[in-house]
């Protein structure tokens, strides 16, 4: 029988190391993730520049915050996360306002933000339709929705998972890395893509980190969307 509690507790320690990747020595697995994800974070930071009101859903430990430009002109930057522990890290380390709430039921008024960021979070949410409805609701007309999502189901992610993710999890004591992965990654890439494009049909899609690769060979994918005015 799978000891889900034990395996997920071990995974949480690995996740905390990933969230703290810019402030402490990390292992090979986290360093490799960082090398790939750096490009994605910079792409999102550049795309959000000049936006007045920004919401980042699933802000975690604030690993994206180190990429914010000092001259963004942002008047309000708000994070949303389910974890009070991560929220406190963001408040203490970055001085960022963080609201602890479910992205499927955001405690914000309609059209509250000019930009919503979703960095590697949509693959994890069970109520994907509801979360995207909420994003559309809190975005002002003409607002931007900037998404990074791993291409779960692709050759690139499958290869990295087999060669790096699963071995790392086993070395750390996780008995069933496949079940942990499936428990955490409830949406594959094609489902995320179809749902995002249904609401934001004019989204620009970008492979990450090499723009010319098809989704099957790219580990990450970006959607740079705009809500209709």
**Alpha carbon 4 to chain centroid, angstroms:** 23
The answer to pTM > 0.75 is yes
Provide the percentage of residues in the chain whose pLDDT is more than 70.
Answer: 94
Q: How many CB atoms lie within 10 A of CB 219?
A: 22
CA angle in degrees (0–180, nearest 5) for 47-51-55: 90
Query: How far apart are alpha carbons 181 and 98 in whole angstroms?
Result: 27
Alpha-carbon span 143 to 106, nearest angstrom: 17
- Provide CB contacts within 8 A for 118, sequence distance 6+: 56, 57, 58, 135, 145, 146, 147, 148, 149
Q: Output the tens digit of pLDDT for each of the chain's 229 residues.
A: 889 999 999 998 888 777 666 555 567 777 777 778 889 999 999 999 889 999 999 999 888 888 887 666 688 999 999 999 889 988 988 889 999 999 999 999 999 999 999 999 999 999 999 999 999 999 999 999 999 999 999 999 999 999 999 999 999 999 999 999 999 999 999 999 999 999 998 889 999 999 999 999 999 999 999 998 8
User: What are the Cα distances from residue 219, in Å, to 8, 178, 205, 215?
Assistant: 23, 18, 14, 8
**79: enclosing H helix or E strand:** strand 76-81
Domains within the chain, CATH numbers bracketed: 26-152+186-226 (3.40.50.150)
CB atoms within 10 A of CB 183: 15
For 107-157, write each residue's pLDDT tens digit.
999 999 999 999 999 999 999 999 999 999 999 999 999 999 999 999 999
Which tokens in the block code for residue 5? 């509690």
Q: Which helix (H) or strand (E) holds 46?
A: helix 28-48
* Rounded distance between C-alpha atoms, residue 48 and residue 92, angstroms: 23
Residue 160 Cα distances to 26, 135, 181, 220, angstroms: 18, 30, 13, 12
């Amino acid at each position: 029988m799978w000891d889900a509690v034990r395996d997920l507790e071990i995974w949480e320690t690995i996740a905390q190391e990933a969230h703290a990747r810019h402030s402490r020595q990390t292992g090979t697995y986290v360093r490799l993730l960082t090398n790939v994800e750096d490009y994605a974070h910079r792409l999102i930071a550049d795309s959000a520049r000049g936006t007045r009101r920004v919401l980042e859903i699933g802000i975690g430990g604030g690993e994206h915050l180190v990429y914010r430009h000092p001259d963004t002109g942002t008047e309000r930057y708000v994070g949303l996360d389910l974890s009070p522990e991560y929220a406190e890290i963001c408040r203490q380390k970055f001085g960022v306002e963080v609201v602890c709430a479910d992205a499927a039921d955001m405690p914000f008024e309609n059209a509250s933000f000019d930009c919503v960021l979703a960095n590697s979070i949509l693959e994890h949410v069970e109520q994907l339709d509801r979360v995207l409805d909420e994003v559309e609701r809190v975005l002002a007309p003409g607002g931007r929705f900037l998404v990074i999502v791993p291409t779960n189901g692709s050759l690139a992610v499958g290869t990295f998972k087999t060669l790096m993710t699963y071995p790392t999890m086993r070395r750390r004591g996780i008995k069933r890395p496949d079940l942990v992965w499936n428990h955490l990654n409830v949406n594959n890439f094609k489902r995320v893509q179809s749902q995002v494009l249904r609401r934001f049909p004019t989204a620009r899609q970008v492979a990450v980190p090499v723009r010319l690769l098809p989704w099957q060979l790219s580990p990450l994918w970006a959607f740079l969307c705009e809500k209709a005015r």
